[in-house]
Amino acid sequence: MIHASRELLQQHYIDLKDRPFYPGLVEYMHSGPVVAMVWQGANAVKTARKMLGETKPDDSNPGTIRGDFAVQVGRNIIHGSDSVASAEKEISLWFTAEEVTSWKSCSHDWVYE
């Protein structure tokens, strides 16, 4: 859990900088702490996107994070990378290489081929 700097948030959302909601998004994200995570596993990005739900909470299915806990798109409560390339870029913004730990669960070989 960290309180991200404005500079980090501006860089994280740089692809949205020309959008009218960009300043408000940065301010909202800067208004309190965030929990930054790196997930690993087969199809982690695709699976995470399903768990998050649609960007617009009212388009999200019940049982997804946004479907259960978000009301408006500007406060959709969670961000998830939309591709492996985006994930790699975003991970490098939020974490140093030493902070990212890869591990193998004892049940790995029961779950994965």
Residues known to be catalytic: 79
The CA-based dihedral angle spanning residues 59, 63, 69, 73, taken in that order and rounded to the nearest 10 degrees? -20
Burial category of 91 from C-beta neighbours within 10 Å (exposed 0-12, middle 13-18, buried 19 and up): middle
